[in-house]
Amino acid sequence: MSGNTSSALKNIKNKQRRQKVFGEIKQAKSKQKHKLRAERAKEERENPELREQRLVENVPETIDSKRVYDETIAAEVEGEDEFQAYFADAAKEPKILLTTSAGAKKPAYEFADMLLDFLPNTTFIKRQKEFSMVDMSKFCANRDYTTLMVINEDKKKVTGLSMIHLPEGPSFYFSVTSIVDGKRIKGHGRATDHLPELVLNNFNSRFGKTVGRLFQSIFPRQPELQGRQVITLHNQRDYIFFRRHRYVFRNEEKVGLQELGPQFTLKLRRMQKGIKGETVWEHRPDMERDKKKFYL
């Protein structure tokens, strides 16, 4: 809204009158905007080159387009990180302990069931209040678990997922949103017990490669391709979208995808070396307002 319009509205003391004038101004601007669009569309129909020129010049800026490519990433040797010991052992397979934050309610257990449906070799244990994150990490490391996962719940809503690579970290905290159970997806398929194939899209930065290694460490390295199941973690503008599908071979030439579910979205909020402390990361309803960002 222009400065002149704001000044004119401030001079109107009656609230109802001020709202009416504001509505009239807004409606007039909308009509003018649609009129210009109609005129531009007519010109572009007569001269298609104008539309091509407009699309070339009016490219919106996004987080991805503003990033500067780091050439040193491609030159790095994959594996020289905290996950090196895990991936260096060819016989090592993921072994996950899954639990919840203290005092969790039904939504956390329902989300745990979703995770158990596609995470192989995962054990769920009900959280005991007397055990801290550090205590549980030591317990898991002594029993050859490779990852500790903790579902965070606040006010009967799943808000986050903590993941600790064992035995020495690093530790990650993801906020969790947009959870959809597979049963609520129209036309969903029924998953089998076959080990899924893992697809990671757009994890290109230094942080992204580290997060990608984390996800690789919780799935077996040799998927059972006969099950035709694939799990996709797609990073777009630093939101990680989880999807699970099954390949459907319609004929010798056409291949489709049938969604199995669940669906949810992750966003990295914390990452640190070592084992994280519970008082710093758990039970933080203000986590969504954290200004620190990780560019994946």
Question: Do both 52 and 195 map to the same domain?
Answer: no
Question: Do both 154 and 283 map to the same domain?
Answer: yes
Q: For 74-100, what is each residue's pLDDT tens digit?
A: 445 454 678 999 999 988 999 999 999
Query: What per-residue confidence (pLDDT) applies to 2?
Result: 63
Burial class (CB in 10 A: 0-12, 13-18, 19+), 259: middle
Banded model confidence at residue 158, pLDDT cuts 50, 70, 90: very high
**What domain count does the chain have?**
2
Q: For 180-223, what is each residue's pLDDT tens digit?
A: 999 899 888 888 999 999 999 999 888 889 999 999 999 999 99
Tell whether the model's pLDDT for residue 269 goes beyond 60. Answer: yes
Question: Do both 10 and 123 map to the same domain?
Answer: no
Q: Supply the DSSP symbol for 21.
A: H
| Cβ atoms of residues 185 and 259 within 8 Å | yes
Neighbours of 122 (CB within 10 A): 19
Helix (H) or strand (E) holding 271: strand 263-272
Question: Do both 277 and 228 map to the same domain?
Answer: yes
| Cβ atoms of residues 277 and 49 within 8 Å | no
0.85 exceeded by pTM: no
Question: Do both 95 and 182 map to the same domain?
Answer: yes
Question: Do both 135 and 48 map to the same domain?
Answer: no
Banded model confidence at residue 27, pLDDT cuts 50, 70, 90: very high
Question: Do both 39 and 102 map to the same domain?
Answer: no
Question: Do both 25 and 123 map to the same domain?
Answer: no
3-state secondary structure 102-156: CCCCHHHHHHHHHHHHHCCCEEECCCCCCCCHHHHHHHHHCCCCCEEEEEEECCC
What is the spatial distance between Cα 229 and Cα 197, in angstroms, rounded to a whole number?
A: 6
Going by their DSSP bridges, the two strands 147-153 and 96-100 should be labelled as parallel
| Segments forming the whole domain that contains residue 15 | 3-59
Tell whether the model's pLDDT for residue 144 goes beyond 90. Answer: yes
Question: Do both 132 and 16 map to the same domain?
Answer: no
Please check whether residue 151 lies inside any domain of the structure: yes
* 3-state DSSP assignment of residue 7: helix
